[in-house]
Structure 1
Amino acid sequence: MSELEAIKTLNNPISDLISDDIFDLLNSRGLIHERAVRDYRIRVKFKTLRAQKIRTGDAIDSLRDEYPYLQFDTIRKIVHNPPKQATV
């Protein structure tokens, strides 16, 4: 991976959902909800850990190492409660 690709990957935490260009455009216009992106990444990481047969509590503890400002129960709620759908 080239250095530019590595930087773009760091800039777009949801590259599996949208392209880097679209992410940059949305982010430049203030349309990216940072907490929702963080919660999405936590859910993806949790599912990956659980697929590796890691116990739920241990997976949450591992996530707490990455996000030390979040409590155990907060991460538990993020991974077990689906996001609320926005109504228009």
Structure 2
Amino acid sequence: MDNTLLRYTDLPIGDRAAFELVCARHGFAPAHFDISACTDPGDAAHERFVTVRRAGWAQCYRDSRGQWIRQFEADLTSRFFK
């Protein structure tokens, strides 16, 4: 697996805008989170796994066309990262 450290500014523009909006809705700034992504070269679709970390908590999401942002927001709603 290729593991590349990303920040929210490294995300595609659509994902970045959605990430910023979700963070703002829940009282966070994108800088409050560390984002890393890895791809599985054995996966025919070459989907990424996006890992979001904050204050000792981490969650990994499958990036199927931006769906990770919805899952991330669900975790913020359930206060996983607080």
TM-score, normalised relative to structure 1: 0.23
Structure (1/2) with the larger strand percentage: 2
Structure with the bigger percentage of helix: 1
Q: TM (normalized to structure 2)?
A: 0.24
Higher relative contact order structure (alpha carbons within 8 Å, sequence separation ≥ 6): 2
